[in-house]
Chains A and B, each alone.
Chain A
Amino acid sequence: MSARVLVGVKRVIDYAVKIRVKPDHTGVVTDGVKHSMNPFCEIAVEEAVKLKEKKLVKEVVAVSCGPQQVQETIRTALAMGADRGIHVEVSGKDYETLGPLQVSKILAALAKKEQADLIILGKQAIDDDCNQTGQMTAALLDWPQGTFASEVNIEADKLKVVREVDGGLETIKIKLPAVVTADLRLNTPRYATLPNIMKAKKKKIANVKPADLGVDVSSRLEVLKVDEPPQRQGGVKVETVNDLVRKLKEAGRI
């Protein structure tokens, strides 16, 4: 099988960190804060590596967009079993405003350049919760998409994807090339083994700029304000059902 898989990995603030809003309310504090690979991206890498181990794909390429530090994230993907990495250099203000639309344009351009047959992404990032990049990438490439995947099987030139949807599980068959986004129950990501961490050091990470791919990363969105969620207010106890109905009417709820 000559299939090449592109896996997007995003460097985000670690899930266990207590997030603090910057005093100027323009964003959250990222300096000196622990970062790691987005958990859904880990699941995406694991799925790609599993496909390679089953000999259903030939090469797994890990991609990340951002400043120098994202190379750590790419190396983690390499330590999990990806073959090589691509670091798309985006820094400064461009990085602060980088969002799903620009990333999906970058991924679409890379997919064409690398002649990828499959793109696997996490369903969403835990910092912005956008849940858009996979869908936009598929649309830009005019490829079919299997999002919220909890199971992926390759059958000849088609992909059978079981999707987790509100009503339950939906099974679809889509033609390759395609975009898949990983949901929580797709797999359990492996711990990087020591030999693989050693091997990762020798694997190549190519550097490329968005301009080289013909992508404009300027944003059309402006973040106006970032606030903490409002403090939870205490509730009120009422004695009778009539009191309850009255209170709800007063609050404009009914």
Chain B
Amino acid sequence: MTLRLWHRQSLMTTQLAELPELHQMMRQTCRDYAQKELAPIAAQLDKDHKFPAKQVKELGAMGVMAVEVPESLGGAGMDYLAYCLAVEELSRGCASTGVIVSVNNSLYLGPILKFGTEEQKKQWITPFTTGERVGCFALSEPGNGSDAGAASTLAQQEGDEWVLSGTKAWITNCWDASATVVFATTDKSLKHKGISAFLVPMPHPGLSLGKKEDKLGIRASSTANIILEDCHIPLGNMLGERGMGFKIAMQTLDSGRLGIAAQALGIAQAALDCAADYAHKRTAFGAPIGKLQAIQFKLADMALAIESARLLTWRAAMLRDAKKPFTKEAAMAKLAASEAATFVSHQAIQVLGGMGYVTDMPAERHYRDARITEIYEGTSEIQRLVIANNILKEYQQ
């Protein structure tokens, strides 16, 4: 083993034990921002279903809307571990803001950074690094979510243009987005190998938005259908090669699910913050309820669930940064973190008792925000399939 490799490996181990100074500073700045600018307005944003445009611009100025994008294109030029830390800290303040940041970074900028031409990067990345514009990712359809290979949105070549038609569903950010990465099939007979990816500006003739979904949680982030009817785009708007769409989608989601894992961690941490604080203050049976074993066991289980999921998330991010395979670890991280979020937020309400059920305390919002993390960017069931497939491959006879 070369000295360099050993050094790098020991760095990775130390990183798990304690983050490097750069990452600590970065985490602190995001935590400060979330505490001062997001947490105080999160409840109102949720009530009003309001997109935090001002905050998104401020986060853009901080470099958080394009963490991995190189400085030459207007991004912060940091690694994926830094990005996961940022999303967790921001989500701790406001889960909706967390997902807005995550979708822009992982699902929109991610695939363009990886598969785009230099020209496409300049056009579709740089304006989306400042927080002035956000992008979205249109893969799911009313007829297929997990079954992404069955995409029925069509892309037909007509001269020097592509014409897209079909409906995309559940698109996060779409009412506030200025561009989208759309997946459509150029040849249905090839099934998933016939899907390609396209870049479409928003608004655009032939592209319209469905009604904003009235969601249980993450209400400050807009979710709706994108309807494509005779939508013409230049040939140069194809992302990657023809037929590469499914591969682009899957690779993008591999990374995106770490962003969602980070969001889930932030929600879980906020719920734990709420419960632990309450345990100190609320008295019953003559003492703060934190003295009761029933509450202590809950807090311990909650903290354990978060810390375990967090380490999985960090490890997956570090593997990705080291350009090593990380699909299995990313699926594990997303699964663990999202289940931790629902578990912790559920228990947080339990610790708060009646107070957990009313809007006076944020516990009910965390409970509502947490639920979606087990569904989007790969349901918990899909994560289990991904993990199982990887395990079976490892043990291939």
Contacts and interface: CB of A to CB of B under 8 A. Distances in A.
Interface of A: 72, 75-76, 79, 191-195, 197-198, 200-201
B376 interface: no
Sorting the interface of chain B by its residue count into under 10, 10 to 19, 20 to 34 or 35 or more gives 10 to 19
A193 B25 contact: no
B22 A197 contact: yes
Given A75-B21, A75-B25, A79-B25, A194 B82 contact: yes
Contacts of A72: 21, 25
Nearest to B64: A194
Interface in B291-347: none
Contacts, number: 45
Nearest to B22: A201
Contacts of A79: 25, 29
B265 interface: no
Contacts of B29: 79, 191-194, 197
Given A75-B21, A75-B25, A201-B22, A194 B76 contact: yes
Task: Specify which of A75, A192, A193, A197 lies most central, judged by the most chain B CB atoms within 10 Å of its CB.
Answer: A197
A195 B63 CA distance: 7
Nearest to B86: A194
Say what secondary structure dominates the interface of chain B. helix
A76 B25 contact: yes
A194 B21 contact: no
B78 A198 contact: yes
B77 interface: yes
A25 to B, nearest CB: 25
Interface of B: 21-22, 25-26, 29, 32-33, 58, 61-64, 67, 71, 76-78, 82, 86
B32 A194 contact: no
Nearest to B82: A194
A15 to B, nearest CB: 12
B62 A191 contact: yes
B317 to A, nearest CB: 16
B76 A195 contact: yes
Given A194-B86, A198-B78, 9 more contacts: A75-B25, A191-B62, A192-B25, A193-B29, A194-B26, A194-B82, A198-B76, A200-B25, A201-B22
A198 B64 CA distance: 13
Contacts of A191: 29, 32-33, 58, 62
Contacts of A76: 25
A197 B26 CA distance: 7
10 contacts: A191-B32, A193-B61, A193-B63, A194-B29, A194-B63, A194-B82, A194-B86, A197-B25, A197-B29, A201-B22
A12 to B, nearest CB: 15
A166 to B, nearest CB: 29
A195 B25 contact: no
A200 B25 CA distance: 10
A198 B26 CA distance: 9
Contacts of B82: 194
The 9 closest A-B pairs by CB, nearest first: A194-B63, A194-B76, A193-B62, A192-B29, A193-B63, A197-B25, A195-B63, A191-B33, A195-B76
Nearest to A201: B22
Contacts of A193: 29, 61-63, 76
Contact of B67 (A75, A194, A201): A194
A211 B23 CA distance: 35
Nearest to B37: A191
A13 B77 CA distance: 32
A32 to B, nearest CB: 14
Contact of A198 (B58, B61, B62, B77): B77
A79 B26 CA distance: 10
